[in-house]
């Protein structure tokens, strides 16, 4: 007998997943999808949610979110970050390890995983490659892997020593896990506050050259080839970086790459007013780089769009460009910004953009309960997207504890109407339910 209280019917939408798109209702019972088809009925007392004019898709998956807990709860917590994620359509996020203390031990990883048990989406954890993210001694990856950690990174800093990175690849290959690199040669990027180019020269601001990223991309592709390890490149920002990834893929190497919504949509010209809201790492690049990143999404060289959600308290941004912390919010605006950059900017099909936000990152992260086709028996991790809804970004109404978004006051197109996590309607009509 069906319990109506635990049944949700998503009615009148267009289902999109890796098999394509079709008009269908989706019936959810408990934590799983019960049926997908036309004209479905739900038992009396069930919750019926309107999906008319919307895409009904597997929940979005973010490979790159800074949830700041433990250690910087004034900026974000696992709970507030997961609420922002759910409102943005995410049913899973990968929490970065550059916390305080960093996720370089089973104890800290277990703490974050425990905090995530009551969250509004799945909170998976990335482990650090090195102890203290100091780039010297390998973290206990076997212990972290035993907890289910599948991706390791010192994000916020690239591993500078090639010998340390070689040993990390060898260790990771034996465990069957992936190493994700923040590609930045620190000797080249030190002191830089924006992309090194015409705008940095005009503004008199020290720049970060594209080569600071590209040299590390080249090195790690060589090390992946040498060791047989799996490499994932975080937030790539330059055309030449993507060219190298494309060549590595054609060679058959186990290499994947992500880009961010802001690198797909903003250029270094945004810093003409010295506004620290536009300071990110890696920095916003040239129009030619933006065009190349978009094309990489179209051709499939890019495997995922990741938010690099980086909340900061006001004092970290309300200072000079040189001294401000890099990073911006992303979880609630990622979908709309990505749709604008790719469907408007390149003519890319909606279903392919959703793939870059959902099932393709799920595969990179090894999250098998996420991103799968919407079919009977599948996990009920679902988002309902209204691709035509226009909305104004109001920082005070965002779920994050922080307010550092460059989209404040701007009108975006595309919004999440409902999010179901493990069958529970955690967002209804754009509002979190708990």
Distance CA 352, CA 89 (A): 16
User: Is 100 in contact with 423 (CB distance < 8 Å)?
Assistant: no
Give the pair of three-digit tokens for residue 319.
């200072």
Handedness of CA 163, 257, 230, 326 (dihedral sign): positive
- The b-or-e profile of 278-313 (16+ CB within 10 A means b, else e) is bbbbbbbbbeebbebbbbbbbeebbbbbbbbbbbbb
* Structure-token pair, residue 292: 């190349």
DSSP result, 74-94? TT--HHHHHHHHHHTTEEEEE
Beta carbons of 110 and 147 less than 8 angstroms apart: yes
Kindly state the DSSP code that residue 379 receives in the 8-state scheme.
Answer: B
Q: How far apart are CA 20 and CA 285, in angstroms?
A: 33
Run of H or E residues at 242: helix 239-250
- In the residue annotation, 308 being an active-site residue is answered as yes
Sheet with 47-50, side-by-side order of all strands: 32-37, 25-29, 7-11, 47-50
Reduced to 3 states, what is the DSSP secondary structure of residue 257? Answer: strand
Closest among 270, 308, 153, 280 to 208, alpha carbons compared: 280
Measure the CA–CA gap between 261 and 337, rounded to whole angstroms: 6
State how beta strands 207-208 and 194-195 pair.
parallel
* Cα–Cα distance measured from residue 325 to residue 314, given in angstroms and rounded to the nearest whole number: 10
**Catalytic annotation, pick one of 155, 220, 303, 308:** 308
Which residues pair with residue 95 across a beta bridge? 65, 125
Structure tokens that stand for 254 in this block: 């186990």
> What residues are labeled active site?
308
């Amino acid at each position: 007998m069906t319990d109506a209280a635990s049944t949700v019917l998503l009615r009148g939408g267009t289902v999109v997943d890796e098999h394509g798109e079709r008009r269908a209702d989706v019936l959810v019972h408990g934590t799983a999808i019960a049926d997908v088809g036309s004209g479905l009925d739900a038992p009396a007392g069930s919750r019926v949610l309107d999906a008319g004019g919307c895409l009904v898709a597997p929940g979005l998956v973010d490979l790159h979110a800074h949830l700041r807990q433990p250690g910087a709860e004034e900026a974000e917590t696992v709970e507030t970050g997961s609420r922002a994620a759910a409102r943005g359509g995410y049913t899973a996020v990968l929490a970065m390890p550059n916390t305080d203390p960093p996720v370089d031990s089973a104890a800290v990883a277990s703490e974050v995983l425990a905090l995530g048990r009551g969250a509004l989406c799945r909170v998976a954890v990335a482990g650090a490659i090195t102890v203290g993210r100091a780039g010297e001694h390998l973290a206990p990856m076997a212990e972290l892997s035993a907890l289910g950690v599948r991706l390791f990174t010192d994000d916020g800093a690239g591993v500078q020593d090639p010998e340390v990175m070689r040993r990390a690849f060898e260790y990771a290959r034996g465990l069957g896990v992936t190493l994700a690199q923040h590609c930045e040669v620190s000797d080249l990027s030190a002191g830089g506050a924006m992309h090194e180019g015409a705008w940095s020269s005009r503004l008199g601001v020290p720049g970060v050259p594209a080569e600071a990223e590209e040299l590390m991309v080249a090195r790690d592709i060589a090390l992946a080839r040498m060791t047989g390890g799996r490499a994932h490149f975080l937030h790539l920002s330059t055309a030449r970086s993507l060219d190298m990834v494309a060549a590595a893929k054609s060679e058959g190497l186990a290499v994947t790459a992500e880009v961010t919504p802001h690198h797909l949509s903003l250029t270094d010209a945004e810093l003409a007013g010295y506004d620290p809201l536009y300071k990110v790492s890696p920095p916003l690049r040239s129009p030619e780089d933006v065009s190349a990143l978009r094309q990489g999404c179209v051709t499939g060289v890019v495997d995922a769009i990741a938010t690099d959600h980086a909340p900061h308290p006001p004092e970290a941004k309300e200072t000079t460009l040189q001294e401000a912390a890099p990073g911006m919010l992303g979880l609630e605006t990622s979908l709309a910004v990505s749709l604008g950059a790719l469907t408007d900017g390149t003519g890319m099909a909606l279903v392919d953009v959703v793939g870059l936000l959902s099932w393709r990152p799920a595969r990179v992260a090894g999250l098998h309960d996420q991103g799968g086709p919407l079919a009977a028996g599948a996990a009920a991790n679902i988002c309902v997207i209204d691709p035509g809804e226009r909305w104004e970004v109001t920082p005070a109404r965002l779920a994050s504890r922080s307010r550092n978004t460059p989209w404040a006051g701007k009108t975006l197109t595309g919004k999440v109407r409902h999010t179901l996590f493990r069958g529970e309607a955690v967002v209804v009509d754009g509002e979190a339910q708990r």
